[in-house]
């Protein structure tokens, strides 16, 4: 199997495959159209509710699920409003974050899921994997409305990327030649 390593300048959108890059199509995340209004299920080893601050802190083996999206982390702060019932506004994850959809996995040191703006942001040694391909950088932003995923390399010398986005893409093999 032939592999095509690519080094990309930041910012760059996630490539769904090398063929999509070659055709200059805008890559789309599998999370496009994710239902951010679906119920959010959270489990953890411990919870601390801070009602006056409208937040809850989950700690230890935290697992979050919303529709086909899952998030695993060590610590999660849930910001909510309590007017007319509890409504989650934002999830802040730390201690290593993994976000999964049916076909993508993204990892980073910290994560923010802004339910109002429908944005997921991962920061710090970000790795995004899809269908055998991988992109590395320092910040990933996924827009759940459009499916647009952008990875930045961060400032030079920060993290392993050295201020650049790097990628490794599998190439579809042609038969017979």
Structural domains of the chain, count: 1
149: CB partners within 8 A, 6+ apart: 13, 14, 27, 28, 29, 128, 140, 141, 142, 143
Residue 120 lies in a domain: yes
Residue 176 lies in a domain: no
Out of 3-7, 32-36, 83-87, 114-118, give the one with best mean pLDDT. Answer: 114-118
pLDDT number for residue 141: 95
Where residue 74 sits, what CATH number does that domain have?
Answer: 2.60.450.10
Residue 56 lies in a domain: yes
Domain that holds residue 154: 3-170
User: How confident is the model over 69-83, as pLDDT tens digits?
Assistant: 999 999 999 999 988
Is 139 a residue whose pLDDT tops 60?
A: yes
Residue 175 lies in a domain: no
Dihedral of alpha carbons 114, 147, 14, 134, sign? positive
pLDDT number for residue 175: 84
pTM for the model: 0.77
More confident residue, 173 or 57: 57
Q: What is the Cα 152 distance to its own chain's centre?
A: 13
Residue 100 lies in a domain: yes
Residue 155 lies in a domain: yes
Mean pLDDT, rounded, of the chain: 81
pLDDT number for residue 37: 86
pLDDT number for residue 28: 62
User: How confident is the model over 17-73, as pLDDT tens digits?
Assistant: 333 333 334 456 667 778 888 999 999 999 999 989 999 999 999 999 999 999 999
Residue 177 lies in a domain: no
């Amino acid at each position: 199997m032939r592999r095509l390593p690519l080094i990309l300048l930041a910012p760059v959108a996630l490539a769904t495959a090398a063929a999509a890059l070659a055709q200059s199509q805008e890559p789309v995340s599998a999370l496009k159209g994710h239902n951010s209004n679906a119920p959010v299920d959270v489990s953890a080893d411990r919870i601390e509710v801070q009602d006056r601050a409208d937040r809850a802190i989950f700690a230890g083996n935290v697992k979050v699920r919303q529709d086909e999206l899952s998030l695993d982390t060590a610590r999660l702060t849930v910001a909510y409003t309590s007017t007319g019932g509890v409504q989650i506004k934002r999830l802040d994850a730390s201690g290593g974050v993994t976000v999964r959809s049916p076909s993508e996995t993204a990892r980073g040191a910290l994560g923010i899921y802004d339910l109002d703006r429908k944005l997921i942001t991962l920061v710090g040694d970000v790795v995004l994997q899809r269908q055998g391909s991988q992109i590395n950088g320092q910040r990933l932003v996924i827009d759940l409305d459009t499916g647009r995923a952008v990875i930045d390399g961060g400032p030079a010398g920060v993290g392993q990327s050295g201020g650049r986005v790097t990628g490794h893409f599998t190439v579809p093999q042609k038969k017979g030649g």
